[in-house]
Amino acid sequence: MTIQQPRTRIQKKNRWTILDAALDVFSDNGFRGATLDQIAASAGLSKPNVLYYFSSKEAIYTALLSGLLETWLDPLRAIDPEGDAVDEILAYVRRKLDMSREFPRESRLFANEIVQGAPHIIDQIEGPLKDLVDGTCALLRRWMNSGDLAPFDPYHLIFSIWATTQHYADFNVQVAGILQTDQDTQFGTAADFLDEFYRRALTPVSG
């Protein structure tokens, strides 16, 4: 059995540099449009040096997507089953919007992969992601049945939240071009709107 030696500080730094550079290249060009030469140039390393750490362009891409999917699932996992139903969903909306602001390259990378049919992550989508969404939808149904949440199709509610929050990362040029405001204002007004929008939609009608 081969024992893998722990990576040195320089090796860890170079791997991070390559992945960070690749994130720029892949998010701008997609998997098919990106090249190892572009990644190496963006990382400030030679192509052979890049290949020392990753065996191929696909290996880099897969490493990025694997880490990204875990990051993308965290906000959904943070929904508290014992919390207030509307407040928990609104908090989830804010976390997703914050992710669009803080991780726009990652959001575009994920969107590009999905548009291409998710060839590199379809197993995760149909496995861990589906399991998590199914579990969350079961919780939403419980809240709806108990009267804590207005009745909606829970799956389409989640899809709606993904669409309305990730839009601000994936179509940022469009948003900025229309609003003609700085990023703080764009995300601030978006947060206010989405909070009010989902609060009104999800709060049960009394009486």
Predicted pLDDT at 4 = 47
Domain 8-55 class, CATH top level: mainly alpha
Domains in the chain: boundaries: 8-55, 62-202
Distance linking the first and last C-alpha atoms of the chain: 68
Q: In this structure, how many other beta carbons lie within 10 angstroms of the beta carbon of residue 62?
A: 15
CB 38 within 8 A of CB 29: yes
pLDDT per position as a tens digit, 69-120? 888 889 999 999 999 999 999 999 999 999 999 988 888 888 888 888 888 8
Residue 189, C-beta contacts closer than 8 angstroms, at least 6 positions apart:
179, 181
- The mean pLDDT of 155-162, rounded to a whole number, is 97
Whole-number Å distance between alpha carbons of 99 and 95? 6
Q: What mean pLDDT, rounded, does the chain reach? A: 91
List the alpha helices (DSSP H) in the chain: 9-33, 36-43, 47-53, 57-77, 85-102, 104-115, 122-124, 130-145, 154-170, 172-179, 183-202
Q: Is 138's pLDDT higher than 50?
A: yes
Q: Is 7's pLDDT higher than 80?
A: no
For residue 142, give the nearest of 98, 192, 79 by alpha carbon. Answer: 79
Q: Is 25's pLDDT higher than 60?
A: yes
Domain 62-202 falls in which CATH fold?
A: Tetracycline Repressor; domain 2 (1.10.357)
Tokens standing for 149? Answer: 């949440």
- The mean pLDDT of 164-169, rounded to a whole number, is 94
